[in-house]
């Protein structure tokens, strides 16, 4: 599939959000779309999925079956989980027993069986997100588009996301994922597309590239925002710790220090391997 000189703006005289994007992705490939808040990651994914039409340029070679998981599942629909998913299975071209089988299999796999008779508006955000994931997977997609898939999911389902992606890739599907949480670390083989100023650049890394670890001290109140920004720019934040030495030197309360690696970390650098959870939730009210 190829995006050819794609431009998009939301209003006739509004600013262009995407400006001449040219990129392609093939069967069995995954790309993670990175970038700061509001740069146009969701817009790009929606163009790729066929949800938005570009104002200029075109998308060619889009696979017939596209699974699209929006950032927020639209739960304000008057259906039960089972009715909704059965309807979506029909939209995906499944009929009768095949539709029922797909719904049963995905509700089981995503832990939704107990919610089959619950209406969508009554679901918690995390459960609704799982329904969003299920509807995209009912029929193996040739293109799976996941907009911030780790957002709002419980830990068990977050673990499942790379597994689902791997299955789509193994069946020669392509996968696009936006990510501001730095979960890309879970998709080490994915390409990395950085969106900024309406343009897209692909990060390249070679096997013999070396990496540096940079330690940065920031005021405690700015930790979450800084971590989010660093991750959005494609850096790997390895850990956050209170920095006693900085505090002692400056005779004020401990300043948290952020340790980050530029580029793709080696396994030993990853926070997970050090028993450190590299995920930090933004503080309430703080920009992601
Ligand atoms: N439906 C819309 N109507 C008008 N402007 C929109 C609409 N959707 C997005 N925008 C604007 O387009 C720009 C890109 O938004 P988009 O949601 O694609 O960014 P993003 O990188 O995905 O951001 P985030 O990380 O916050 O999800 C932003 O300035 C946003 O305000």
Q: Which CATH superfamily is domain 2-203 in?
A: P-loop containing nucleotide triphosphate hydrolases (3.40.50.300)
- Buried b / exposed e across 138-156, counting CB within 10 Å, b at 16+? bbbbbbbbbbbbbbbbeee
Q: Burial-class residue 76 by CB neighbours within 10 Å (0-12, 13-18, 19+).
A: exposed
What is the overall mean pLDDT for the chain? 84
In short, whether 10's Cβ falls inside 6 Å of ligand 1 is yes
| Every domain of the chain and the residues it spans | 2-203, 213-274
> Does 40 or 232 have the greater pLDDT score?
40
> For 178-201, how does the pLDDT look when each residue is reduced to its tens digit (9 = 90+)?
987 767 767 878 999 999 999 999
pLDDT at position 242, please? Answer: 82
pTM, whole model, 2 decimals?
Answer: 0.77
Nearest CA to ligand 1 atom 16: 40
Averaged pLDDT, 17-37: 95
Dihedrals φ, ψ of 135, to 5°?
-65, -30
> Does 145 or 183 have the greater pLDDT score?
145
Name the residue of 41, 54, 71, 197 to mutate for ligand 1: max ligand atoms within 8 A of Cβ: 41
Confidence of residue 253 (pLDDT cuts 50, 70, 90): low
Per DSSP, the three-state class of 30 is strand
> For 52-85, how does the pLDDT look when each residue is reduced to its tens digit (9 = 90+)?
999 999 999 999 999 999 999 999 999 999 999 9
């Amino acid at each position: 599939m190829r995006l050819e000189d794609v431009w998009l703006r939301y209003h006739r005289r509004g600013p262009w959000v995407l400006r001449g994007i040219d990129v392609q992705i093939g069967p069995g490939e995954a790309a993670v779309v990175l970038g700061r808040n509001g740069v146009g990651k969701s817009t790009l994914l929606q163009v790729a999925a066929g949800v938005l039409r570009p104002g200029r340029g075109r998308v060619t070679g889009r696979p017939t079956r596209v699974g699209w998981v929006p950032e927020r599942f639209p739960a304000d629909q008057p259906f039960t989980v089972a009715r909704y998913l059965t309807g979506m299975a029909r939209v995906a071209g499944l009929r009768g027993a095949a539709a029922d089988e797909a719904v049963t299999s995905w509700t089981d796999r995503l832990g939704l069986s107990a919610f089959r008779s619950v209406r969508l508006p009554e679901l918690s955000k995390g459960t609704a997100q799982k329904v969003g994931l299920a509807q995209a997977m009912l029929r193996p997609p040739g293109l799976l588009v996941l907009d911030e898939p780790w957002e709002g999911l419980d830990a068990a389902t977050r673990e499942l996301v790379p597994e689902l992606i791997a299955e789509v890739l193994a069946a020669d599907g392509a996968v696009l994922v936006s990510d501001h949480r730095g979960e890309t670390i879970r998709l080490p083989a994915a390409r990395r597309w950085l969106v900024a100023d309406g343009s897209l650049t692909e990060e390249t890394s070679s096997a013999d590239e070396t990496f540096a670890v940079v330690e940065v001290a920031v005021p405690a109140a700015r930790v979450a925002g800084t971590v989010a920004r660093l991750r959005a720019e494609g850096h790997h934040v390895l850990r956050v710790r209170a920095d006693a030495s900085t505090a002692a030197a400056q005779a004020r309360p401990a300043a948290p220090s952020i340790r980050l690696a530029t580029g793709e970390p080696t396994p030993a650098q990853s926070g997970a391997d050090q028993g450190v959870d590299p995920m930090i939730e933004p503080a309430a009210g703080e920009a992601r």
